[in-house]
Amino acid sequence: MLADRTRLHIALQKSGRLSDLSRDLLRDAGFRIQRSKNSLTARVENFPAELMFVRDDDIPTFVSDGVCEFGIVGQNVLEEFALGADEQRYEVLAELGFGGCSLKIAAPETLAYDGPKSLTGERIATSYPRIVRRYLAEQGIDAKIVKMNGAVELAPRLQIANFVCDLVSTGATLEANGLRPVETVLDSQAVLIRTTKMLDDTRSKLSAGLLTRVDGVLTTKESKYIMLNATGQSLQQITSLLPGAGAPTIVPLHGRPGQFAVHAVCQESVFWETLEQLKGAGASAILVVPIEKMMM
């Protein structure tokens, strides 16, 4: 297939834990995904882009080779790929805040464990041999890695290995298999990657446009618009408490001398504690509202 050079190609996981979340992100960014006759690709209706649905393990390869200009993939898959590649031909543009999990070493509940040295001479089953090898090297531990492509948590029961190193989010799968986590090797979430291959003008402009929109979604997710009333004396303390706010708008309240309305965009999470602190500093009538779209 010769890639169409007038549009962007975005590699997404076809089916799995990241597929719906990746599509949701693109939808939130305003891309309307066309229903397609085949399940391997889909066009974006209102932007010159095409989605390619592939196995997540193939996404780093596609983006590195420039077959797809963009991809969404877990840091775990990307790191395993990077450790096996001779040069890095992609860049990580953004952490996407979904697909969170950790790569953990786990042991049968019945097995004694006393820190990484307990791994010495043991067998560790994993789908992430390169990451595990690096971890062992960092710890100065000599152990044998057994590569498995799936069902890693069965390895101890099948007596293939005493230890496993697998992705964990809630830990329920480990527990169901009589395993407990003993070490965290890597924390992971989904990231947006872009090829470092040179793009022609058309695609380079499109690429900047896509990035602006995705950035907009990521910033608005966290951002809130805060409105509150304050007295002149409390203004300084109150504005210093607003998390991640640039220059707030401060306007006098009509008919209430010495009283002001403060409006600000907060680009960090606003917690109840912050509101209590604001109230303590003299703020009243505090409103926190979500922001739907934002372009900085």
Q: Does 57 bind Mg ion (CB under 5 A)?
A: yes
d(CA 254, CA 227): 16
Asked if 77 is part of the footprint of ligand ATP (rule: CB under 6 A), the reply reads yes
Q: How far is CA 243 from CA 44, 223, 231, 251, 295, in A?
A: 36, 10, 19, 20, 19
* Given 50, 56, 80, 153, the residue binding Mg ion (CB under 5 A): 56
Pull the structure tokens for residue 174.
Answer: 């480990």
The Cα–Cα gap between 260 and 124 comes to: 63
Closest CA to 105 of 184, 31, 43, 38: 184
Note whether 16 binds ligand ATP by CB under 6 A: yes
Q: How far is the CB of 265 from ligand ATP (least distance, A)?
A: 31
Nearest-approach distance from CB 94 to ligand ATP, in angstroms: 15
Per CB under 6 A, does 13 bind ligand ATP? yes
Judged by beta carbon, residue 77 or residue 199, the one nearer ligand ATP is 77
The piece of 31-39, 70-78, 193-201, 245-253 that touches ligand ATP (CB under 6 A) is 70-78
Of the pair 7, 17, the CB lying nearest ligand ATP is at: 17
Q: By CB under 6 A, tell whether 17 contacts ligand ATP.
A: yes
Binding flag, residue 101, ligand ATP (CB under 6 A): yes
Estimate the crossing angle of helix 75-82 against helix 129-139, to 10 degrees. 80
Nearest CB to ligand ATP, comparing residues 118 and 188: 188
- Contact between 60 and ligand ATP (CB under 6 A)? no
Residue 79 binds Mg ion (CB under 5 A): no
Q: Which does 28 bind (CB under 5 to 8 A by kind): Mg ion, ligand ATP, none?
A: none
